[in-house]
Amino acid sequence: MKNLNVLVTGADGFIGSHLCEELVKQGFHVKVLVAYNSFNSIGWLNDLSKRKLKSIEIIFGDIRDVDLINKISRKINIIFHLAALIAIPYSYRAPRSYIETNVLGTLNILQACMNNSIDKLISTSTSEVYGTAKYTPIDEKHILQAQSPYAASKIAADHLIESYYKTYKVPAVILRPFNTYGPRQSERAVIPTVIRQIIDPNCKKIKIGDTSPIRDFNFVKDTANAFIKLASANNVEYGNAYNAGSGRSVSIGETIKIINKITKNKKVYETSKERLRPQTSEVFNLIASSKKLELLTGWKPKTSLESGLEKTITWWKKNLNKNIINNSSDYKI
């Protein structure tokens, strides 16, 4: 697999930047698509070492640009498609943006795969497509439930992957990560927002939403390795999805207790209505079965929740006073 040419969309984001870091480490030739912006910012790719960053070819653009996507996909062996709008609360306010980016963006990638005879496409889904679990652990046969416009857009994108394999034999497969966390994650996610408010001296109280939902948290480097394992595998079931999760269930409240223990936090928590999702949109139970991925690739997460949280807290302590992090944690969802 080494020395192959790969394209990563959404490379400037949380998971994308970690995936690029690991791909470079393993000897792949990495080209990336970064969202165009007037500041020429490459997002979290700036967190990579200069040596690793130097070996990455960076293209600025928009996943919705059909011609650009086709052009940058030439002479590529594998595409990792991570570009997406992912903030669930914002999808309530701007659902059209999620369709245009997440659905039409995936369509553009699939067309580029057809035009350029790509060897394999790994498209990123989300555990949110399952909605609140009908049974646990959740395997890939679980029904899909669109409990938010974001989830609806990802379900539609997943169906495009399935249809393009069945119709055109595009070698596309879906990775469905469960609740990834770690360094570089937006603090609108529960783990980074709690950590930030604990260690930020300007935060006197810690604002949180509902602490009852159960999650299957996975450290970002394990998720990045799941992408690479799936890309490297033979006998992949194209057009289908593979879950990537630990199988460990933990409530948000229990997760906060672990963070409190590590940080020795004494601050008071308060529930903020602005951080609560609509009751029928909240996903209350997500626990993964990753047996399908494990049987195919041997992948298992290596990082325990406790160890991953310690690494994440250390990163936040190191980066809180840098300009790369928001200067306020007082926001609405």
Residue with the bigger pLDDT between 282 and 148: it is 148
Give the distance, in angstroms, between the CA of residue 270 and the centroid of all CA atoms in the same chain: 28
Q: With 60 as the cut, is the pLDDT of residue 331 above it?
A: no
| Residue 260: strand, helix, or coil | helix
pLDDT digits (tens, 9 = 90+) for 12-35: 999 999 999 999 999 999 999 999
Is residue 306 in a domain? no
Query: Which of 133, 214, 220, 140 minimizes the C-alpha distance to 185?
Result: 220
Is residue 296 in a domain? no
Q: Which residues pair with 58 in a beta bridge?
A: 32
The count of C-alpha atoms lying within 13 angstroms of the C-alpha of 44, restricted to the half-sphere facing its C-beta, is 19
**128-132, 298-302, 321-325: segment of lowest average pLDDT:** 321-325
Q: Is 215 in contact with 248 (CB distance < 8 Å)? A: no
Backbone phi, psi, residue 158, to 5°: -60, -40
Q: Which residues pair with 61 in a beta bridge?
A: 35
Q: What is the pLDDT of residue 1?
A: 67
As a whole number of angstroms, the distance between CA 1 and CA 213 comes to 39
Based on the structure, what is the number of domains in the chain?
1
Q: With 80 as the cut, is the pLDDT of residue 294 above it?
A: yes
| Residue 259: strand, helix, or coil | helix
User: What tokens does 135 get?
Assistant: 């049974």
Q: What is the pLDDT of residue 73?
A: 99
**2-6, 155-159, 215-219, 255-259: segment of lowest average pLDDT:** 2-6
Q: With 60 as the cut, is the pLDDT of residue 116 above it?
A: yes
pTM for this predicted structure = 0.94
Beta strand pairing call for 218-219 and 180-181: parallel
Is residue 127 in a domain? yes
Stretch 69-88: mean pLDDT: 98
Q: What is the DSSP letter of 283?
A: -
As a whole number of angstroms, the distance between CA 288 and CA 216 comes to 7
Give 332's pLDDT tier (boundaries 50, 70, 90): very low
- Provide the mean pLDDT of the chain: 94
Q: With 80 as the cut, is the pLDDT of residue 327 above it?
A: no
**At 152, which CATH number?**
3.40.50.720
**Which helix (DSSP H) or strand (DSSP E) does residue 44 occupy?**
none
Is residue 169 in a domain? yes
Is residue 187 in a domain? no
Is residue 110 in a domain? yes
Is residue 288 in a domain? no
**Cβ atoms < 10 Å from Cβ of 2:** 8
Stretch 279-293: mean pLDDT: 91
Is residue 254 in a domain? no
Q: With 50 as the cut, is the pLDDT of residue 242 above it?
A: yes
Q: What is the pLDDT of residue 333?
A: 43
Give the range of the structural domain holding residue 61, as residue numbers without chain letter.
Answer: 5-181+217-244
Stretch 235-264: mean pLDDT: 96
